[in-house]
Amino acid sequence: MSTHAESSVTAHCDELLDALVRFRERAHLTERWGERLAAVLGGGGRLLAAGNGGSAAQAQHLTAELVGRYRDDRPPFSAIALHADTSSTTAIANDYGVDEVFARQVRAHGRPGDVLILLSTSGASANLLSAADAGRAAGLTVWALTGPAPNPLAACGDDALCVSGSSTATVQELHLVAVHMVCEAFDAAVERAANERNRR
C-alpha cells in the first residue's frame, strides 16, 4: 500500500475518533430513546423508520434488530422500515411524487403514540420532512437522527440527535453507533420490565 493510501485510511480513522468524542457528549439521548421505545413497543405500539440511501440501510438495520434481536433472545417487536416495501414506494413515487413516498406510508401505518424515526445525513431530504409533518399530524412521536445541526429535519421533530462529522461517511458510521446504543437501552428496559412483572 502506498504512503498516500495509508495516510487517507488513517485520516478516516482519525476523523471518526474525533467525531466520536463529540458524539459521546449527546449519546445519553440514545438511552432515553431506547427506554421510550421499550414502553411504546411493549404496550403494543410500533416503530416506523425511514431514510434515503445509506440512511435507509441504517433505518432497516434498526428495525431488523427490534423484530429479530440485538443480543439476547427476547420477544419480537413491531418495527417497519418504510423504504423496504419496494412496491409501495415505487407506486407512491409514480402516482404522488417522491416527496410523498414516506408520508403516505406514515399515514397508512402510523397510529397515535407510535414512534417515527427519520435518518438523514443532511437533515434536508424533502421526503423525510414530509414524513415528519405526516407523523406529527397523525399523533406520532417524531425523532430525527441527522448530520450536523442546525438542519430542517432536526427542527421539525419532537427530538433530534445531530451528529457532527466532516464527511457523510463519518456521520453514517456514528448513526450505526447510535442505532446500536438505542438497541442496547431498549433491551435493558425490556429486561427490567420483564423482571418487574415476574416479581409481582
Longest dimension (CA), the chain: 64
The pLDDT profile of the chain, 200 residues, written as one tens digit per residue, is 555 666 888 998 999 999 999 999 888 999 999 999 999 999 999 999 999 999 999 999 999 999 999 999 999 999 999 999 999 999 999 999 999 999 999 999 999 999 999 999 999 999 999 999 999 999 999 999 999 999 999 999 999 999 998 899 999 999 999 999 999 999 999 999 989 888 87
Q: In sequence order, what DSSP letters do the residues of 126-182 get, joined into one string?
A: HHHHHHHHHHHHTT-EEEEEESSSS-HHHHHSSEEEEPP-SSHHHHHHHHHHHHHHH
pLDDT of residue 55: 97
Q: What share of the chain is helix, strand, coil (3-state, %, to 5)?
A: 60, 10, 25
pLDDT for position 2 = 58
Question: CA-to-CA distance for 140 and 134, rounded, in angstroms?
Answer: 9
Q: 168-178: buried (b, 16+ CB within 10 Å) or exposed (e) per residue?
A: eebbbbbbebb
> DSSP character for 53?
T
Cis (ω within 30 of 0) for the bond into 150? yes
Give the residue from 77, 82, 91 showing the smallest Cα distance to 110.
Answer: 82
The pLDDT of residue 6 is 63
pTM: 0.94
Is residue 126 classed exposed, middle or buried when 0-12, 13-18 and 19+ CB atoms within 10 A define those classes?
middle
In this predicted structure, what is the pLDDT of residue 198? Answer: 85
Q: Residue 199: its pLDDT value, please? A: 82
Here the cell at position 39 is: 414502553
Cα dist. 38→35, 47, 102, 182, 194 in Å?
5, 10, 24, 10, 11
State the CB neighbour count (10 A cutoff) for residue 32: 14
